[in-house]
Amino acid sequence: MTTGSQGNQLPWVEKYRPKTLADVVGNAATVDRLRVIEENGNCPHLLLSGLPGIGKTTSVHCLAHALLGDAYKEAVLELNASDDRGIDVVRNKIKAFAQKKVSLPPGRHKIIILDEADSMTPGAQQALRRTMELYAKTTRFAFACNQSNKIIEPLQSRCAILRFGRLRDEEVLQRLVEISKQEGVQYSDEGLAAVVFTADGDLRQAVNNLQSTWTGLGFVSPDNVFVVCDQPHPIIVRTMLEACAKGDIDTALEKLDEVWNTGYSSVDIVTTLFRVTRTLDSLAEPVKLDFIKEIGWTHMRVLEGVGTLLQLSGLLSRLARTAIDPKLVTYT
């Protein structure tokens, strides 16, 4: 068996981090807005928000590189969740940087990148309000965060808000194919589809899963991917759902036992059930919607703490009943 030999090199997520906005995959409308800013050079305060691993940090760095060129090192201050960003830092470090004189290309501004800004305390965010205005002539702020509702309203209203959405499966796949070609990864098409499935729109996770499977097992096939990523195998979960759709509860429960006895938690199982249902073409649309609704309720109960086998068995019986006669189910 040949295995990948990239042990001592950069992880692929870093090696293939886009250097320019043109290389950023997906979210075309949002990236286009950044490109317009790159072209006219006048960067507003920015707030980039969206799920993990979809290119927020990358895009803001690409933009800063394009705007500032060689001055990047001197004219960009990056503070992320690993730095202390309490009120003192805002008062001292950020203000000192904003006041610092740096020679820049004409019409450009210094940029302060506050990554993972949703983890800043509201106090520290408050302290930024006036600072942002006072130094706006020379310094622009770029915030990146997962949850924009954790950013206080006054900061949001000072920023151009750019939302990044989950990447589409085709986009993730295309990137994986490119990386696989460059790294000489041996894969089957189903293997890459499995990586896309495990990542659920998160490109960083997809690239990591691809690298782990290739370096660990030497071939990217669905079975290897699910072993490495340690997720319930969607084929078993699909059989479970298809059995429910036929009203065959015995087979469904048998499969559930099989997955449960492998040691997966109820959250793993319920999330896989949801993701498989979403892509299950054999289900008629109304049945699919009913299934998703039921799975959603169960997900909620599991997150509230009742993640027993009985809970999941109950879900499957309700699914089987919905499939036979949708009117029998009442949602409580």
Ligand X SMILES: Nc1ncnc2c1ncn2[C@@H]1O[C@H](COP(=O)(O)OP(=O)(O)OP(=O)(O)O)[C@@H](O)[C@H]1O
Binding positions for Mg ion, rule: CB under 5 A: 57
> Of the candidates 10, 28, 52, 230, which one interacts with ligand X according to CB under 6 A?
52
Which x/- pattern, by CB under 6 A, does the window 258-297 give for ligand X? ----------------------------------------
Contact flag: residue 174 with ligand X (CB under 6 A): no
Of these partners, Mg ion, ligand X, none, which one is at the site of residue 299 (CB under 5 to 8 Å by kind)? none
Q: Which of 34, 47, 49, 56 is close enough to bind ligand X by CB under 6 A?
A: 56
Q: Tokens 């041996």 label which residue?
A: 186
Backbone angles phi, psi at 114, to 5 degrees: -105, 95
> Quick one: which of 140, 204, 238, 318 contacts ligand X (CB under 6 A)?
204
The H or E element spanning position 161 is strand 160-164
For residue 164, CA distances in Å to 17, 47, 66, 112 come to 17, 10, 20, 20
Q: Is 203 in the site for ligand X (CB under 6 A)?
A: yes
- How big is the CA angle at 204 (ends 203 and 206), to the nearest 5 degrees? 60
Residue number, 21 or 319, with CB nearest to Mg ion: 21
Measured from the CB atom, is 195 or 207 closer to ligand X?
A: 207
Q: Among the candidate windows 17-25, 214-222, 279-287, 309-317, which touches ligand X by CB under 6 A?
A: 17-25
Contact 102, 66 (CB under 8 A): no
Between 162 and 252, name the residue whose CB sits nearer to ligand X.
162
Binding flag, residue 24, ligand X (CB under 6 A): yes
- Provide the minimum distance between the beta carbon of 324 and ligand X in the complex, in angstroms, as a whole number: 43
Residue 187 touches which of Mg ion, ligand X, none (Cβ within 5-8 Å per kind)? none
Residue 224 backbone phi and psi in degrees, to 5:
-60, -40
Q: Give the burial string for 157-187 (b: 16+ CB within 10 Å, else e).
A: ebbeebebebbebebbbebbeebbeebebeb
Q: Exposure of 36 by Cβ count < 10 A (0-12 exposed, 13-18 middle, 19+ buried)?
A: exposed
Q: Using the minimum distance from each CB to ligand X, give the nearer residue, 17 or 110.
A: 17
Q: Does 17 bind ligand X (CB under 6 A)?
A: yes
Q: Can you tell me the distance from the alpha carbon of 75 to that of 199, in angstroms, rounded to the nearest whole number? A: 35
| 37 binds ligand X, rule: CB under 6 A | no
> Treating both helix axes as pointing N-terminal to C-terminal, what angle do 309-324 and 234-245 enclose, rounded to 10 degrees?
50
Report the interface residues with ligand X, using CB under 6 A. 13-14, 16-18, 24-26, 52-58, 144, 146, 175, 203-204, 207
